[in-house]
Amino acid sequence: MTDKPIDPAAAQSTITARGGWSSDFTTRTSAPPVYMTTAFDIESLEQLDSVVGGQEKGYIYTRDGNPNHEAFASDVAQLEGAESGVVTASGMGALTAVLMAMVKSGDHVLAARVLYGRTGQLLNHLANSFGLQVTYFDLDDLAALKAAITSKTKLCIVESISNPLLEVADLPEIVGILGAIPLLVDNTFATPCLLKPIEHGATLVWHSVSKYLNGHGDVMAGVVVGPDSLMRRIRAMSSLYGVNANPFESWLANRGLRTLPLRMARVSQTANSVAQFLSAQPQVSRVIYPGLADHPHYERARRLLPDGCSGMLAFDLPGGRGAVDCLFRTLSDRIPFSPTLADARTTLSYPTGTSHKFMTTAERAACGITDGLVRLSIGLEDPADLQRELGEALAKLI
């Protein structure tokens, strides 16, 4: 805190305009403070030059940097084993800053075929409007990945665990094929508690902070971490394009981060039991979870995700959209349909109508996203309660 004395003879308007400050104190706050300020006061032009030049630790304008931004990004970078990070207004804001920093018109980007729908939508937009070349590849056809690399390939994008089909990317194999080409990994579903992509050779790791890192359904933010040299460029693009985070959102996200290891262990354990339960239900035609032995990437998951496969799973209802609608209506007061994930409560989502609605029917079919696909985000409830509620709702589909 800074003591800013006000002349006792000042007018009321001056007192109110300049108030709000407490006297300096020496005791340290037991919880991190929120620096909810647009800008930071500068004592002199000399100090301005010193802060801008990096000789003095300080901040100037919150779009360019804020202590809450730095605290959260630094914590995530440490968890992921990265040098530094940048926090943004959303997960898509983080991706935008990365792309603006690393590619230009005419460059080539490789991307996994099954991705969060908006990731593909942004790549397609840049391809159609700005001449970015984009090639999609199947995670199970790495020969096609190798064949797609050109002299113009500047970046490869994958998800550690894909949305919504829970594919597990074989990061060491992909890195071995890419060589010096940077790999950007969306680690939202796994988090660094279950998988650290940088340990497997990834260059950059990116999260939708709104999901597991925060974990309470009340934050909209994104973060990307990696080497300092790239972070400087990405931070500059974040400021230039105005996708910087809000200080209070960063503070909330950092508060949520305190319980991340406990939450990831709990949701992984519960998801595994719920996935096994759903596999035994006659109303369900397919359950998708990397922890199940029938998942095509089960052995890969055991190798890369030994501490759990996260709290996300998906399942198919053969009755299609009608069956999904019936399930959602039945569960609405207990397990709600909410187009997000990784809240403290369990939620349902419908990829065809939300996260992947921007894809054509043919594109969704090629990825295995059916009209009967339900995504289930496991929360912190008792597993027995979730199984009972799901079982009762599924019974009404017969």
pLDDT in tens, 72-131: 999 999 999 999 999 999 999 999 999 999 999 999 999 999 999 899 999 999 999 999
The type of residue at 56 is: E
Which is nearest to 116 in space by CA: 92, 133, 81, 150?
92
What's the angle, vertex CA 69, arms to CA 126 and CA 309, rounded to 5?
70
- In which band, very low, low, confident or very high, does the pLDDT at 4 lie, cut at 50, 70 and 90? low
Domain ranges of the chain: 65-257, 260-395
The alpha helices in the chain, defined as continuous H runs, are 12-18, 45-53, 67-80, 91-102, 117-130, 142-148, 171-178, 191-194, 228-240, 247-257, 260-279, 298-304, 320-331, 361-367, 383-395
Looking at the predicted structure, is the pLDDT value of residue 277 above 50? yes
Largest alpha-carbon pair distance within the chain?
80
Q: Is there a contact between 340 and 210 (Cβ–Cβ < 8 Å)?
A: yes
Distance, first Cα to last Cα, the chain: 64
Sign of CA dihedral 321, 384, 314, 216: positive
Looking at the predicted structure, is the pLDDT value of residue 42 above 80? yes
Instruction: Say how far apart CA 93 and CA 245 lie, in whole Å.
Output: 9
**Omega before 164 cis (within 30°)?**
yes
For a pLDDT cut of 90, what percent of the chain falls above it? Answer: 87
Looking at the predicted structure, is the pLDDT value of residue 179 above 80? yes
| Mean pLDDT within 345-364 | 82
Q: Is there a contact between 158 and 109 (Cβ–Cβ < 8 Å)?
A: no
What architecture is domain 260-395? Alpha-Beta Complex (3.90)
- In which band, very low, low, confident or very high, does the pLDDT at 2 lie, cut at 50, 70 and 90? low
Looking at the predicted structure, is the pLDDT value of residue 305 above 70? yes
Predicted TM-score (pTM) of this structure = 0.94
pLDDT at 1: 43
Which is nearest to 157 in space by CA: 197, 190, 217, 129?
197
Structure tokens at 26: 């020496």
pLDDT in tens, 223-275: 999 999 999 999 999 999 999 999 999 999 999 999 999 999 999 999 999 99
Report which DSSP code applies to 48. H
Helices and strands (H, E) in the chain, number of each type: 15, 11
CATH code given to domain 65-257: 3.40.640.10
pLDDT at 20: 85
| Mean pLDDT within 156-184 | 97
For a pLDDT cut of 70, what percent of the chain falls above it? Answer: 98
